[in-house]
Each structure stands twice: as C-alpha cells, then as structure tokens.
Structure 1
Amino acid sequence: MNPIVWAGGTLREPGEPVVAATDHGFTVGDGVFETLAVRDGVPFALSRHLARLAYSADRMGLGMPDGAAVREAIAAVMGAGVVTRLRVTVTSGAGPMGSARGDGAPTLIVTGVDAPRPHTCRAVRAPWKRNERSALAGVKTTSYAENVVMVEYARSKGADEAIIANTFGNLCEGTATNVFVERGGEVVTPPLASGCLAGITRGLALEWGVRAALPMRVAAPGELAMSVLDEVLAGEAHLAVTSSTRGVQHVSSLDGEDIAAGPLLRKVSAAYELAAERNPDPAVPSRR
C-alpha cells in the first residue's frame, strides 16, 4: 500500500510533496527520527520512543514539537488505514545552503506503512568503524548515509545487516540494531560507551529479561572485543540483534556461515514477546 503521510498539520495525498527543497533535513540530514512497530493496532512503546526523540532533538539542538501534537499526528495516521510500522521525523526546517541553520519552525512528518516484520537476520562484519566520540554518537539522526553504505555492503554479501566495531575494535552495534551475545552461560550487550544507540528494544530486553530471572547484563567497557564474533562462528557463543521492527531476533548467518540460535537468547526473545503483549506502552525510566 501507499504510505500514509501526515505533514504540515494534516494528512496528505500519496505522492504529494511535503518537504521544501531548502529543508535542512533534506539538504544536510539535520534531523532526528523514530521508527515504531505497531502491535495489534497500537504503536508499541510510544512513550519511550517519544522520550528518545526529544533526547535526540535536544542533543542536536533542535526545537521539538509538542508531544501532544506528535501523538495527534500519529493517531491521524493510524486512523487512516492499516499501519504496522510508523516513522516520526523532525528536522530543523528550512535553512540556508550550508551547515548553519535558519530560524524557521521545525518540520514534523509522520509516516505509516503496512510492512512485514523481518523474519530472519543474516549479518556480516562491516569493514568500517563506528566513532564512539562522534558528536552524533547515541543520537538517532536522519544523517544515515553511513548506515546506507554499510547495508549495501551487507546486501552485496547476501546479508541484510552489518555488525560494526567501534574505533577501539570493540563490538558496538548493527546499522539499525543493537547486538546481544550469549557466552559463558549469560547474555551480554555492549555498553552505551561503545558508541551504540540506546535502543528501545535493547533496554526493554534487558529489563524484562532480568525480571524473568535470566542471566543478562551490560558488558563492561572493552569486555566484548569484535573477535567475540569468531567465537560465534566457532559455535562457542551465539548472537542476536534487537530493534523495534525485529524484536529480539536470532542471527541465522554470519559472514555467510549458518549459526545456531542460543538457548538463553531464545528465552530472552520469549520473555520480551510475552511482556510486550502484556504492556504495549511501558513507562519511561526515570533519569537520576
């Protein structure tokens, strides 16, 4: 189906232009976004996604539209057709031809599509690094060209995701996923200090997995070298990715070699799915 688009305060016709040629989100990627799964007709973890959107906007120095207005736009899109995936995009709006911003209002666009959930993950190791010292580290920004290049590299290798190390050579994340490794009788995930995004699904998997008495934790800085993926290929460890659209998903192949699912990671996935069904909008954790 055609995407359902809300922009400029109203629903738009399919194919209708909605972004100015001078919008900084278009010209220099000056914006932030969130992608949400829709479960049983409800945008999943909406409060957490909007909190992260506001955090990303603050990190970027962007004006953030009122949360109630964003929720109204989402409701309009949800009421206009069948939607299984939502995207909320905020840019700095129209600006000059350069990096400096203009002084106009931010642009808000909400898009809904009916798209199938990815059922498998085939991954490769990316030959590039994630810069954990970048000004955009941990920000979900529309400046996504780096990830596009890495996904195209993965596709050229018959995969659909690329796993990235940071500049220290430590395991960081995928282009659109966080990563979890099962080894030594526990499940660990790279720390945010590695430069990875604070994924909504990553956080919920940790919370709900621990609540289900599963042995899982955030790794210490430097604990997970990229070479841990050699252990995965040797069958000594197991790998899963997490994202809003994938949930907690076993990586079925790495660098072209089939790999087995981890028994603990299967339990993490089951715990996540059960908790998500029971609580479609988990509360935003308090910051201390």
Structure 2
Amino acid sequence: MGPTEGCVYVNGAFVAPAQATVPAFDHGYLYGDGLFETLRTYGGVPFRLEEHLARLEEGLSALAIRGAPARPVLHERVLETLARARLPEAYLRITVTRGVGTRGLDPAGCDTPTVLIAALPLRTYPEAWYVEGVSATVLWARPTQVHPPPTLKTTSYQHTVVARMELPRREAQEGFFVDGAGHVTEGTVSNVFAVVDGALVTPPRTVCLPGITRAEVLAIARASGLPVAEEPLPVGKLSAAEEVFVTSSLAELLPVVRIDQATIGAGRPGPVYQRLHGLYRQRTVGPLSPGGPG
C-alpha cells in the first residue's frame, strides 16, 4: 500500500482500499442495517475519536446490533488502520453492520457484525467557501417520528442521497430538511446554527443527529459567554437570521450567506462565525492524544 492510498480494516484483515469487500448477503449491504461514524485527523491524530465511538456504541445498543467489538478494541483497530495507512492527514469512516444472517429482513442469526474501518486521504472543502460563504436551500419535509430516528447515524441514507442530487440544480452547496411544522431540523450532512438577536440558536438534538462538532461548538459558545438556545428553528427565522453556519466533522464550521433567495446578514461570513471557527480550530491544534485534543 502506497503512502497516499490508505488502508481498510474488514473483519480482522487489513487490506488496500481497492481490495476491501463485504459479504453479498450482509444485512448492511442488503437493507442498510448498520451504523457509521466519520471523522478526520489533525496532525495525524483522530479528533474526538472517543466521542464518535461512544455515539456508535449507543447506536448499536439502540438497534440491538450485538457482538461488535468493545469500544477499546475498536479504538485500537482505528489507530492501527490509521498507522498502516501512512497518510499525513486522513478521513476515517467506521462502519458496523448487523452482518450475515438468515434470508429476508429477520435479523435472527446475525450473530457476527461486519466491522469496516477505512483510513483514506483527506479531502477538504474549498478554502473559498470559508472566506466567502456558501449557498443553501430549504428541502422537503423529513419526518422526525420515524424508526430508526434521525438521532442515529445509520447507513440508511437513500433519503439524503436523493437530496444531495437536488443541490446542483438549485445551485446550493447544502440543503436543509424541515419537519411537518416547518422547522429546520438539520442539513443533509450537517447540523445547523443561526445567530438570532445575538444568541446562538440550533434545533434540539431530539430532531437531528447529535453531531460531535455540534456539541463542540455549543461548548465553545457557552465557555465564551455567548447566549445559546436549543429550540425549534422555523424556516423564516433561519432565513432572517443575522448569521447562519453549518457544522460537521469534515467541514468544521461552514458559513451560509444565502438560503434560496434570502441573503443572510451582510452576505458574508459574520463575526460570531469567525470567532467560533477560530476557537474551534484552536482546539484541533491543542495538545494531541490518541483520543483527540484535550
């Protein structure tokens, strides 16, 4: 494996990305019956790895996917995969599916989950997006009272794939889902934040994926004395906000300067975004350990 190719761990074996395969009758492949986490490295070290593994563990318990390696074992497998990948910076994806069982939807007999850990070359967003901001669009309603709920990072992503296909047509880089009441819940691959009357507002974690970066930003905002509210965010309130930005482990914080026909604030990244993004990046270059910066 070359220094820029990466490495993939699949059920006990470390292979080159092009050689990674899963069983044809794996329930994750057939039915999207699994969970995953994505994160990145800074200085070659995974950022907030323990938090990602904790969320994965909670999801496995919620979906009753049994037999996966314990969190410390997964932690070691991630670090070993990363070491074998020999990349300056990496994109990491940890996927655990229910595995192979009996024919049909019945999970009976799925006693050995499939575990896949990929360490691949990191691809970042264009720097211009952080300097100039991006455009977003409001998408269709997505029910929040569904099973599995949006609070779990499952591999059932068809809804999001269809939404992402819509973005180029609308000349947008991100899209926002709404619930039946017209409240924005989250982006296709991000959590949503708005600055309203000087306070930082984000949808409650009951209607969106409880993002690791989302939690980091909330902690930074509270520590810096910024008023914070986790509450329903109507589309009109979002479009009229002083600032809007989205968060994810790969994008960090990304400013939104237009939502459909509405210009956000002055049409450029605002001071609250710039302050929070600066503080976030300070955390990513702090004292590093295998679990992430302290």
Q: Is the CA contact 1:206–1:217 (under 8 Å) kept in the aligned structure 2?
A: no
CA displacement, residues 9-62 of structure 1 (integer Å, 9 cap, x when unaligned): 121133224200000010000000000111110000001000000011111111
Q: Is the CA contact 2:50–2:75 (under 8 Å) kept in the aligned structure 1?
A: no
- Pair 1:270-2:278 in alignment: yes
Looking at structure 1, the residues matched to 162 and 5 of structure 2 have their Cα atoms a distance apart, in angstroms, of 26
Unpaired runs of 5+ residues, structure 1, are none
Q: Which amino acid aligns with 1:247?
A: E
Q: Say which of 75, 81, 84 aligns to 2:90.
A: 84
CA displacement, residues 145-202 of structure 1 (integer Å, 9 cap, x when unaligned): 1111111111222223211111221111001100000110111111123x11100000
Looking at structure 2, the residues matched to 111 and 229 of structure 1 have their Cα atoms a distance apart, in angstroms, of 36
SS in 1 for 2:285: helix
Q: Which amino acid aligns with 2:72?
A: A
- Pair 1:202-2:214 in alignment: yes
Q: CA deviation at 1:116?
A: 2.0
Partner of 2:116: 109
Q: Is the CA contact 1:129–1:165 (under 8 Å) kept in the aligned structure 2?
A: yes
Q: CA deviation at 1:282?
A: 6.3
Mapping of 1:168-183 within 5 angstroms?
Answer: 168-183=181-196
Change (3 A) 1:260 1:97: farther
Q: Is the CA contact 1:170–1:225 (under 8 Å) kept in the aligned structure 2?
A: yes
CA displacement, residues 87-139 of structure 1 (integer Å, 9 cap, x when unaligned): 0000000133422113330110000111222232432111x222211122200
- Pair 1:72-2:79 in alignment: no
Change (3 A) 1:206 1:282: farther
- Pair 1:230-2:239 in alignment: yes
Q: Say which of 49, 52, 75 aligns to 2:52.
A: 49
- Pair 1:245-2:245 in alignment: no
Q: Which amino acid aligns with 1:148?
A: V
Partner of 2:27: 24
SS in 2 for 1:62: coil
TM norm structure 1: 0.89
Divergent runs of 4+, >6 A: none
Unpaired runs of 5+ residues, structure 2, are none
Q: Which amino acid aligns with 1:170?
A: H
Q: Is the CA contact 2:177–2:187 (under 8 Å) kept in the aligned structure 1?
A: yes
Looking at structure 2, the residues matched to 279 and 133 of structure 1 have their Cα atoms a distance apart, in angstroms, of 41
Q: Say which of 101, 121, 128 aligns to 1:95.
A: 101
Looking at structure 1, the residues matched to 278 and 175 of structure 2 have their Cα atoms a distance apart, in angstroms, of 24
Looking at structure 2, the residues matched to 56 and 168 of structure 1 have their Cα atoms a distance apart, in angstroms, of 27
Moved more, 96-105 or 40-49: 96-105
Q: Is the CA contact 2:191–2:248 (under 8 Å) kept in the aligned structure 1?
A: yes
Number of residue pairs aligned between Structure 1 and Structure 2: 275
Q: Which amino acid aligns with 2:234?
A: A
- Pair 1:136-2:142 in alignment: no
Q: CA deviation at 1:238?
A: 1.5
Q: Which amino acid aligns with 2:235?
A: M
Q: CA deviation at 1:279?
A: 5.5
- Pair 1:147-2:160 in alignment: yes
Q: Is the CA contact 1:181–1:187 (under 8 Å) kept in the aligned structure 2?
A: yes
Q: Say which of 211, 217, 226 aligns to 1:214.
A: 226
Q: Is the CA contact 2:247–2:253 (under 8 Å) kept in the aligned structure 1?
A: yes
Q: Indicate the percent of aligned positions where both proteins have the same amino acid.
A: 30
